Amino acid sequence: MGSIGETLVATFIPALCARCGGPLAWQGSRAGVCTTCWSGIELYREPGCPSCGNPEVGSAQPCLDCCDAPPAWRAATSCGPYRGTLRDLVLLFKARGGDDLDRPLGDLLCERWRATGWQTPDLVTSVPMALLRRLRRGYNQAELLAHRLAHQLGVAYATTLRRHHGTAQLGRSRSARLRLRAGAFRPKRVLAGTVLLVDDVLTTGATAAACTRALLTAGADAVEVLTLARAE
């Protein structure tokens, strides 16, 4: 039974879930989101293609697309498809003031990473955000996720890339995203070893590929890509 204080708060100042608008339980909810919504997240249960993370591939071997044109990174995976509850939570996370979602969503990333069997990386980094957008939002959601993941893995986090002016992907067509040039991201430091690159959503893979090329140019031996969601 909850305390009298908890009962009074729940009665006179009822809290509502930031996603569904339903009652927010005093215990069990996380970052303003109810337990029902958290339990409703659709997650991938299979590893997918070991190279690109395509969930429709059930083999331990790379898919035909990766065999034909191997991606720049060594491996990639996502927690689940960009739809339903996971999509709503990603959008809430991107909304100004939604940065408290970094811990529970970062924990989802950590669970997915552990399921891959990948070796512990030497460094965790994130996809950089355009400066103007970061100033408007107040934070880079990919960076917050990467910080949480690095803490969970006991690995250092570092900002390794800067975005070249005019390379923001939001609102671009699929063809425009795929044409993202190699110089869209530039390294800020010399690197070594395996780098784990974190972002919120993998869409066409163009951003991850451009970041990977920049990280490899800076000296990374290999890059692995981990995202919360994968666009279908």
Q: Which two tokens stand for residue 125?
A: 């980094």
pLDDT of residue 179: 56
Domains of the chain as residue ranges with CATH: 1-40 (no CATH), 46-230 (3.40.50)
Statement: residue 93 has pLDDT above 70: yes
What would the 3-class secondary structure string for 14-57 be?
CCECCCCCCECCCCCCECCECHHHHHCCCCCCCCCCCCCCCCCC
Average pLDDT of the chain is 88
Q: Looking at residues 107-124, what average pLDDT do you find?
A: 96
Query: Which pTM was predicted?
Result: 0.87
pLDDT of residue 184: 86
- For 11-21, the pLDDT digits (tens) are 444 689 999 99
Statement: residue 45 has pLDDT above 60: yes
Statement: residue 231 has pLDDT above 70: yes
Share of the chain above pLDDT 90, in %: 71
Closest by CA position to 90, among listed 128, 41, 45: 41
Statement: residue 182 has pLDDT above 70: no
Q: How confident is the model at residue 183 (pLDDT cuts 50, 70, 90)?
A: confident
Statement: residue 213 has pLDDT above 60: yes
State how far the Cα of 162 lies from the Cα of 159, in Å rounded to an integer. 8
pLDDT of residue 136: 87
Backbone Cα Rg of the chain = 19
Statement: residue 131 has pLDDT above 90: no
State how far the Cα of 109 lies from the Cα of 113, in Å rounded to an integer. 6
List Cα–Cα distances, 96 to 92, 139, 206, in angstroms.
Answer: 8, 8, 25
Could you tell me the sign of the dihedral formed by the alpha carbons of 65, 69, 70, 76, in that order?
negative
Statement: residue 38 has pLDDT above 70: yes
List Cα–Cα distances, 55 to 58, 113, 114, in angstroms.
Answer: 7, 15, 17
pLDDT higher for 168 or 39?
39
Share of the chain above pLDDT 70, in %: 86
Q: How confident is the model at residue 1 (pLDDT cuts 50, 70, 90)?
A: very low
